[in-house]
């Protein structure tokens, strides 16, 4: 059975809906990243807060506490990678704030009014593709931030235990 191709108007409607859906995913990153950021920060704060005075440190405390801090900082680094603004546009888009913001109002108005529906559809498709690339990096980074946070839990808990346990008299 042969399929009937969508009209240009239908393609534009589907493209706009798809871009809207992709942009919603961009916004879903921030609340998830905020949770990891809060937990990472709290764990680092607790580790520093429970740390004994400099003279009371043992080799095991240094190793375990250092591992916990390392893993937490790697988690924070991945959050930074995911949160970093990606401003490169694939073209001189009339939909992307970065390129529109560089134009004068007259230039933008002239280009906008001069575009035909096919050019608009192409701009939609490019923006959808570019934003999908951005979302992919954001959630890849978030996945690794979660992973390093989970990896930090055991050395962090052990370090807190060591920090709070009184030293054994010799």
Name the residue range of residue 39's domain.
30-163
Q: Residue 58: inside a domain, yes or no?
A: yes
Tell me what pLDDT residue 1 has.
Answer: 62
Q: Residue 159: inside a domain, yes or no?
A: yes
The secondary structure of residue 102, as a DSSP letter, is: T
pLDDT digit string, tens, across residues 2-31: 678 889 999 999 999 999 999 999 889 999
> For the chain, how many structural domains are there in total?
1
Tell me what pLDDT residue 118 has.
Answer: 94
Q: Residue 123: inside a domain, yes or no?
A: yes
Residue 33 CA to residue 145 CA, distance in Å, equals 8
Q: pLDDT tens, position by position, for the chain (170 residues)?
A: 667 888 999 999 999 999 999 999 988 999 999 999 999 999 999 999 999 998 889 999 999 999 999 999 999 999 999 999 888 877 788 988 888 999 999 999 999 999 999 999 999 999 999 999 999 999 999 999 999 999 999 999 999 999 998 676 66
Residue 111 CA to residue 88 CA, distance in Å, equals 20
Residue with tokens 């807060």: 49
Q: Residue 2: inside a domain, yes or no?
A: no
Q: Residue 139: inside a domain, yes or no?
A: yes
Residue 58 CA to residue 162 CA, distance in Å, equals 9
Q: Residue 103: inside a domain, yes or no?
A: yes
Q: Residue 86: inside a domain, yes or no?
A: yes
Spacing of C-alpha 131 from chain mean position: 13
**Closest C-alpha to 80, from 28, 159, 145:** 145
Q: Residue 36: inside a domain, yes or no?
A: yes
């Amino acid at each position: 059975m042969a399929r009937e191709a969508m009209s240009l108007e239908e393609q534009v409607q589907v493209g706009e809906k798809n871009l809207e859906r992709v942009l919603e995913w961009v916004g879903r990153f921030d609340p998830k990243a905020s949770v990891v950021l809060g937990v990472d920060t709290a764990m680092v704060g607790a580790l520093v807060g429970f740390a004994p005075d400099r003279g009371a440190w043992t080799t095991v405390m240094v190793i375990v506490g250092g591992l916990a801090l390392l893993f937490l900082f790697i988690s924070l680094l991945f959050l930074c990678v995911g949160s970093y603004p990606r401003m490169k546009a694939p073209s001189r888009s009339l939909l992307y704030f970065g390129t529109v913001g560089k134009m004068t109002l007259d230039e933008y108005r002239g280009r906008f009014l001069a575009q035909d529906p096919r050019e608009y559809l192409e701009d939609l498709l490019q923006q959808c593709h570019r934003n999908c690339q951005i979302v992919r990096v954001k959630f890849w980074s978030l996945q690794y931030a979660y992973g390093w946070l989970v990896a930090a839990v055991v050395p962090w808990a052990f370090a807190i235990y060591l920090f709070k346990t009184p030293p054994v008299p010799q």
